[in-house]
Amino acid sequence: MLKNLFKQLLLATTAITAMEAAAQTTVTFIAGKDAWIQKQNVTSGYETTNYGTSPNFRPYLWTHSGVPTVGRGLLQYPELAQLPSNAVVSSASLYIYCDIISADMNAHNYNLANDNSIYISRITSSWADNTVTWSTKPTSTSTNQVAIAATGYRATTNYTVDVTNLVQDMVTNSSFNGFQLALQDESFTNLYRNMTIGSVDNTDPTLRPKLVVTYSIPAEALHFDGSDDYVQASTYASLNTGNDDFTYEARIKASSTQSYIYPTVVSDRNASTENGATVFLVPGTDEWTMGKPWININGTNYPCASCPSLTDNAVHALAVVRYYDTLKFYVDGTFQESRPVLSGTGNITAAGDVRIGHDLANASNTYFNGDIAEVRIWNVARSASDIAASYNKTIAGNTYGLTGYWRLDEGTGQTAYNSATGNYYHGTLGSSTSVETIDPTWVTSTAGIKRGIGSSFEFPFNAGTIAQGSSYTSTQNNSTSNGFDNDLGNTSDDIYYKFTIGSTSLVTADHCSSDLSDTYMYLLGSNKQVITYDDDYGPVCSSFKSSISVNLSAGTYYIVSEGYGTNAGNITTNIAVAASTGTPIARTASVPDQNHTPAQSNTSALSPAVAAAIVSYPNPVKGYLNFGENVSAYTFYNAAGVPVLSGTQAAGVSTDALKPGIYMLKTDNRTEKIVVEQ
């Protein structure tokens, strides 16, 4: 059998970014709201005045025109409400800074022989920063309140406060009304005590408070009842691997009670011709069954007699690999057995729809009872080391050879999203988007792998509906240790933001305020398809920081922020919405830097599904080039017009074997100039 040796060389150099099953997510909240509320010990206008735009807020007791006055600070992070309801908070730190730039003589932490220690407590009722006053102040609770010790005279102390228990209480009670900062002793007889804390309205960004939360969530999976449940996704070209390599993977927790004789994990067999493959278990009592895994290729069965029983109510990672004409079985990252593919039986040319939990080609005998997650289909033979390294981790959606990736961790809804880059064949629970009895159910299960907010398309930061004239800003750090995933473009981790616009609008997104100096940005539609992207010198950032300006029709969209290459750090993402002008903002520079990729912009106010051409990225490229879609064939031509690299059925390819230079790439329906860097 003729094999593409070059493909094997590519596999040897493939790097996979993965996240541990037990990993935690760290999120930084900066876009807060706060207010200062005051009351005097005589009736005055203080207690009915709103101080929501003060550059600082002060838990204090002082005098104004000789009248004793008490003050408190209120602080809220509305985005905190996006934490999953089952989040387990391992740490939460509130950073507050002394406002040392205020012109007020009291702009320090004062302690004039009296105690200015404060409590930070949890607010239990709603309030608005632009209207709240002492008279309308929210309620609070002393449960798990945190004490901050007194300072010295005219101290400029900054604090990192452990508010882990307070944030966990907010999650547990689904009450995210924020923190109250008040003196421990508010008696009017004990004056001249003050802490001056920079507010979110302070002119110096370094003095604004921030909240950093690290948390984990129980993993999600889909539970199949063993009677009639399944997930279905449409067939696609890359399933037709011919006589070439493939890999099927999944994490399962199979019940010891199976009602059918061939409970199926995943199948793409054609219901009419049986062309395709199905991975299933066979409960029984002899050495060939006993809940062991099998694979069927085009109607021919191949058992794994050496494999352990997987119908034991325990979590297992199963992988079946075809390498040339040999099948290899792996359980929990460990090789179990190999078996030859019978001559003339393994040519997959007309695979059917993908079914998870059922085989449509053997519809009456194959329903699965148990939990399934992390279903992956590849058109390459994964190595033993690759499988061992990632069987208990999520992987990057743009990993070479990955053609289908259903994580099954959404936890809600009727859609099982396909996370393989360029593959938009998402799964549907049951036969339709309506709730049915044949739908599997979302469950907390150790078969799944934990992920956190902002880490993926399925778990984005939710900016909500952004009205025209409004904007949304968030700063997050995409360092690997913070638990974000990598699905798009560069090798640095991605941060996902979801937003909705109610009418045709001009949307401008940018990284202009980011600490990270070289960034990348993508705009995605609700089907995960890339609408446009930018590297450097976009329409509003005159630097290597990304920005996009595009007219979009009403709907839900996603911004994905990452660093160029392996760059990681604080990325500030700003999304502004304005009335549609019919023309996006012009680019700020025409001379790119060495890392520049021209922006691909949608200038139409019509449906975004047809507004932007699909392009390969990143470009220029070092390493893996993503085609932006699955293609049936591709060819690279050098400057002399000589074909130098070609292949079939792929969503991308490594360019490591190409010399640095300019190439013409031809795929199914388009021709592009690709710059390969060294």
- What confidence tens digit (pLDDT) does each residue in 224-248 have? 999 999 999 999 999 999 999 999 9
Q: How far apart are CA 619 and CA 653, in angstroms?
A: 13
Pull the structure tokens for residue 38.
């005051």
- Widest pairwise Cα distance in the chain: 98
Dihedrals phi, psi of 5, to nearest 5 degrees: -60, -35
Over 50: is that where the pLDDT of 454 sits?
yes
Angle at 366 between CA 435 and CA 397, to 5 degrees: 65
Q: How confident is the model at residue 609 (pLDDT cuts 50, 70, 90)?
A: very low
The answer to whether 279 and 266 have CB atoms below 8 angstroms apart is: yes
Cα–Cα nearest to 400, from 427, 424, 426, 382:
382
Over 90: is that where the pLDDT of 642 sits?
no
pTM for the model: 0.63
What three-state secondary structure class fits 19?
strand
User: Residue 435: enclosing H or E segment and its boundaries?
Assistant: none
The answer to whether 483 and 25 have CB atoms below 8 angstroms apart is: yes
Q: What is the mean pLDDT of residues 149-170?
A: 90
**Tell me: the pLDDT tens digits for 44-58?**
999 999 999 999 999
Q: Residue 326 forms beta bridges with which residues?
A: 323, 340
> 556 vs 140, 350, 546, 560, 596, CA distance in Å?
36, 35, 21, 14, 28
The answer to whether 500 and 515 have CB atoms below 8 angstroms apart is: no
Q: How far apart are CA 617 and CA 530, in angstroms?
A: 10
CATH numbers and ranges of domains, the chain: 5-16+220-444 (2.60.120.200), 25-216 (no CATH), 452-613 (2.60.120.380), 614-678 (2.60.40.10)
**Tell me: the pLDDT tens digits for 538-562?**
888 878 999 999 888 899 999 999 9
The answer to whether 58 and 243 have CB atoms below 8 angstroms apart is: no
Q: How far apart are CA 397 and CA 562, in angstroms?
A: 14
E strands present in 275-426: 277-282, 292-297, 300-303, 315-323, 326-331, 334-340, 354-356, 369-378, 393-395, 402-406, 415-416
Whole-number pLDDT of residue 641: 83
